[in-house]
């Protein structure tokens, strides 16, 4: 059955930062992809604001950096680009889609696609392991609920729900199936279940 609409509000940036520890990290490719996406969507000035929010450092794609800094950059991008691109929610979704593109072009992402091919269930089944290679925190599992319906159970995940919805949408669209829908249901500030379906 589809998940009900989430009744728990999304945590704000300050709340998320208060929950993150120095051990919670993300690969540099997510920072670099975010900066590039922000520049392409809003220009160099917008990119520089994101870089400043993240801490003004140079990011190496496969080194790990605090997810707190990534969150600051993501929320800055959403605030800067939102007025031009349909609001903060639309920007978060778009940035999540871009993160998938960046990941799938990485060595780990190419390996995932090579093993899974373009079959949506196999791509989604590979997603939790791919996250473990790129993120130090959280746990994600996939539950197959039907031929065209999967649920991802995400626990202790700091990234915004709409960002992850965009990420998962792009993963399934890789298989070229029609009617992709991803809908998150928040259970607590860091725990979300995602319903993923297609036609």
Burial category of 178 from C-beta neighbours within 10 Å (exposed 0-12, middle 13-18, buried 19 and up): exposed
What pLDDT band is residue 67 in, cutting at 50, 70 and 90?
Answer: very high
pLDDT tens digit sequence for 132-143: 989 999 999 999
pLDDT at 38 over 90: yes
The structural domains of the chain, with segments of one domain joined by +, span 13-197
Record the pTM.
0.92
Buried b (16+ CB within 10 A) or exposed e, 157-176: bbbbbbbbbbbbbbbbbbbe
The length of the chain is 199
SS3 163: helix
Q: Are 140 and 131 in contact (CB under 8 A)?
A: yes
Half-sphere exposure of 175 (CA within 13 A, CB side): 22
Helix locations, the chain, DSSP H: 13-19, 28-42, 44-54, 67-81, 88-104, 107-116, 120-134, 161-173
pLDDT, tens digit (0-9, with 9 covering 90-100), for 166-196: 999 999 998 889 999 999 999 999 999 999 9
Alpha-carbon distance of 191 to 161, in angstroms, equals 9
Q: Which CATH superfamily is domain 13-197 in?
A: H-NOX domain (3.90.1520.10)
């Amino acid at each position: 059955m589809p998940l009900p609409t989430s009744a728990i509000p999304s945590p704000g940036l300050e709340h998320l930062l208060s929950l993150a520890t120095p051990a919670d990290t993300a690969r540099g490719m997510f920072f670099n992809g975010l900066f590039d996406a922000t520049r392409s969507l809003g220009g160099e000035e917008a990119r520089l604001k994101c870089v400043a929010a993240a801490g003004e450092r140079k990011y190496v794609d496969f080194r790990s950096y605090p997810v707190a800094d990534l969150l600051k950059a993501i929320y800055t991008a959403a605030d800067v680009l939102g007025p031009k691109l349909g609001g903060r929610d639309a920007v978060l979704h778009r940035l999540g889609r871009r993160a998938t593109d960046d990941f799938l072009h990485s060595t780990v992402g190419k390996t995932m696609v090579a093993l899974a091919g373009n079959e949506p269930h196999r791509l989604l089944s590979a997603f939790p392991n791919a996250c473990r290679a790129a993120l130090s925190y959280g746990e994600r599992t996939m539950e197959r609920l039907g031929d065209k319906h999967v649920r991802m159970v995400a626990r202790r995940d700091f990234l915004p729900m709409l960002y992850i919805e965009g990420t998962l949408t792009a993963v399934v669209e890789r298989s070229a199936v029609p009617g992709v829908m991803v809908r998150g249901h928040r259970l607590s500030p860091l725990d979300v279940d995602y319903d993923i379906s297609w036609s």
